[in-house]
Amino acid sequence: MYLTLKHLHLTFVALSLLAFVVRGLWLFMNSNMLSKKWVKILPHIISTILLVSGIVLAVHLSMSPGSQPWLMAKIIGLIVYIGLGVAAFKVPNPSASKALWISALIVFAYIVSVAISKNPLGFFS
């Protein structure tokens, strides 16, 4: 069960990153793909499966953010990533949009580094 959950979670981590990168590239190319209904819906489906698989994995391993500082760091990083990502697609200024998008990618990398190292400092350690 553990390996199935882990692989499901990791698959949706990769899909989430891929979807975010592609949508960002479309944003900067002023592509009309961003207005397609499936492009607006798919990231929410991916994110939901990613979050649910992460929660189920943590419950399966009896881990809680209160007892695992690295898990709390991932959750805080996720909130920051979501905020930056939403802002990147909402802000009308292209320069600000690019800066927010790149910042979100850096936070995503931080979250992955925390998950790999099991250290709340991630790549800062």
Q: Is the pLDDT of residue 9 over 90?
A: yes
Say yes or no to pLDDT of 90 above 90.
yes
CB atoms within 10 A of CB 125: 9
Per residue in 49-81, pLDDT (tens digit) is 999 999 999 999 999 888 999 999 999 999 999
Res 65: pLDDT: 87
Q: State the pTM of this model.
A: 0.90
Long-range contacts of 39-43 (CB under 8 A, 24+ apart): 43/16, 43/19
What is the pLDDT averaged over residues 92-118?
A: 96
